[in-house]
Structure 1
Amino acid sequence: MNNESIIKHLVISGGGIAGLTAYSILREANKSGIWNIENLVSIYGTSAGAIIGVFIALKYDWTEIDNYIIKRPWQRVFKFDIGSVLRSFDSKGIFGKKIIEEMLYPLLKGKDLEPTITMKELYEYSKIDIHIFSTEIHQYETIDISHKTHPEWQVVDAIYASACLPIIFMPYLKDGQCYTDGGITNNYPIYACLENGANPDEVLGITISKHEENKHFINDESSLFDYLTVILNKMYKQAYLASNKNKEYTIKYEIELENIIVSVYDFANISSSQEQRSLLLDTGVEIWNNFMDKCK
């Protein structure tokens, strides 16, 4: 593989905790020289992919982000108890936007950026065209949030609208619209990137496998959350297949991650374990190295 900085566009799918693996893949790809932040034109991300995209756009040193991901006591952010579960019946989700605020505010502050920074202001800071994808429930359509389409939207709101996985997170309500996880209608926005004129040879995409590596079955030991999680995963898969029917694309630099069904318990476990977060990052390093070997 030619290690020139040839990638100008990143496309990052949603995937819950797999987002940590996607992050480390992008980090290793950057270190290999295949892409450079100064040459990056656009980032397309859904849910966890949108969060990673904004992390990248803030232009931190990789070591700083690594330490933030691994060493921060995330269990203080993702507080999960019986009270939050009971309240979810009225609030339509266990966690709210405060999760994203607590996730992003320290990083924004570290760059002297306001917590209320808008999509337009983030573009002016980064010079990267960032597209964040959400699903509007009333019209059941994909919403592409960028500095062009929603310039005055706060970045925190855009990310939350993209990442608010049903049941785990409350939906985002704004101007009579109801926004939920972008993965429902467009978990991997590769077509949006290509339709906006990106050269396929200049795109690095990270997607989730369309095949379930680990089958999850509902049995007597399964909880309500297990049941709903499996249903949602099936819906996401069918929505992807339906929306991409008869569409074809070929990009040289695309990496497929294992399809892991994510439950509320996974969020709780990952948030409380530095070791598990480190393992997910290490997995990304291994995946990138294997990808590089195949490209030689």
Structure 2
Amino acid sequence: MKIGLVLSGGGIKGAYHLGVLQYLCHENKIEFDTIAGTSIGSIVGMLHEIGIEPKLVKDRFKNIKLNSLTVLWNSIGRAGLISSDTLKELILKGVLESEETDLMKFKDLNKDIYVTATDLISGKLKIFSKKTDPEFSVLHSTLASSSYPMVFSPVEANDTIYTDGGIMNNFPADIIRDKVDYSLGVFLSPLTISKKEQLKSSRGVASRVIQLQGASEDLKRLKLCNEIITSRDLVNFNSFEYDSEKIDALYEMGYNDAKSNTQLLKTLKQLQRYKRMEL
């Protein structure tokens, strides 16, 4: 009996992931055997695997001093505006407070972790895992998965160039569908209804088309999970706006949404009992 967890991309909305994990895993001792994550979902999955309490991650994350990244959308012409090394330093010093994790490889992990990235050279989805990349740095894989175009520069490794995994697969439920008996998904990007004024420019129309294309693929993958935790209220948050109050609000929203689903907790605890019986 294997229980899987799927964590979508979504930038700052990843604080919602932390709230869910705080309630399910830290307070109720639910253990996931397999985790698949994209972008911020891969970072949260990595931090969960190495054992840092989600609430502590949230509090440390709030202390990272970054100006709102929203303005970066207005700059075009460079491969990236913030280097992946800067993102690495923010995670190492701001969240992990240790450089030991920089040396951790996939072969060192206890759980099966799957991290998605987009290979810009081949145009294909790259899936980092213990099986395919045992010697690869887990942290570097999450940096590749989180290198959002025109915000963070791509990551060069394995003789290719990687960028954000959400371009190809923002909700990697399909990656672990045949590897687990039950999967829970946490989804940060519910589809919004667009306003007419947002569609009066070519950029607005293009952005909406990309959003709809992604939503179609997300919907297919959402159906692969046994249960989904999400909230329509997530549409009220900007993925690139680093604001302490909003981080707290997202965290509390995730925590409360997980807590309110009493049947989910009962199901997960029952599945864990089945796992113990198999040992």
Q: Give the TM-score taking structure 2 as reference length.
A: 0.77
Deviation at 1:139, TM superposition (A): 2.5
Residue pairs, 1:97-136, within 5 angstroms: 97-106=84-93, 107-110=95-98, 113-121=100-108, 123=109, 127-136=110-119
Q: CA RMSD in A?
A: 3.6
Deviations 1:242-269 (A, max 9, x none): 5876995350x32124464986xx63x4
- On the 8 A contact 2:22/2:53 being kept in 1, the answer is no
Q: Which one scores higher on RCO, CA 8 angstroms, separation ≥ 6?
A: 2
Structure 1 residues 156 and 234, CA, compared in 2 at 3 Å: closer, same or farther? farther
Which one-letter code corresponds to 2:104 in the other structure?
A: I
Residue pairs, 1:178-197, within 5 angstroms: 178-195=161-178, 197=179
Partner of 2:37: 45
Deviation at 1:8, TM superposition (A): 2.9
Runs of 4+ off more than 6 Å: 79-86, 293-296
Partner of 1:146: 129
Deviations 1:131-177 (A, max 9, x none): 10011123222111012212222223211211111111222233442
Equivalent of 1:207 in 169, 187, 195:
187
Partner of 2:277: none
Deviation at 1:284, TM superposition (A): 1.5
Which one-letter code corresponds to 2:49 in the other structure?
A: A
Partner of 2:224: 249
- On the 8 A contact 2:26/2:53 being kept in 1, the answer is no
Partner of 1:73: 64
Which one-letter code corresponds to 2:246 in the other structure?
A: Q
- On the 8 A contact 2:154/2:163 being kept in 1, the answer is yes
Structure 1 residues 281 and 244, CA, compared in 2 at 3 Å: closer, same or farther? closer
Which one-letter code corresponds to 1:249 in the other structure?
A: L
Partner of 2:77: 89
Unaligned runs of 5+ in 2: 267-279
Structure 1 residues 280 and 60, CA, compared in 2 at 3 Å: closer, same or farther? same
Partner of 1:35: 30
Give SS of 2:230's match: strand
Give SS of 1:235's match: helix
Structure 1 residues 49 and 170, CA, compared in 2 at 3 Å: closer, same or farther? same
- On the 8 A contact 1:8/1:35 being kept in 2, the answer is no
- On the 8 A contact 1:16/1:262 being kept in 2, the answer is no
Structure 1 residues 237 and 142, CA, compared in 2 at 3 Å: closer, same or farther? farther
Deviation at 1:233, TM superposition (A): 6.0
Deviation at 1:104, TM superposition (A): 2.6
Deviations 1:188-242 (A, max 9, x none): 11111112x2002xx221124552156584378x8x9xx47x7456425414535
Which deviates further from its counterpart, 170-179 or 20-29? 170-179
- Looking at structure 1, the residues matched to 247 and 17 of structure 2 have their Cα atoms a distance apart, in angstroms, of 12
Equivalent of 1:235 in 204, 210, 217:
210
Deviation at 1:118, TM superposition (A): 2.3
Unaligned runs of 5+ in 1: 1-5
Which deviates further from its counterpart, 171-180 or 10-19? 171-180
Partner of 1:198: 180
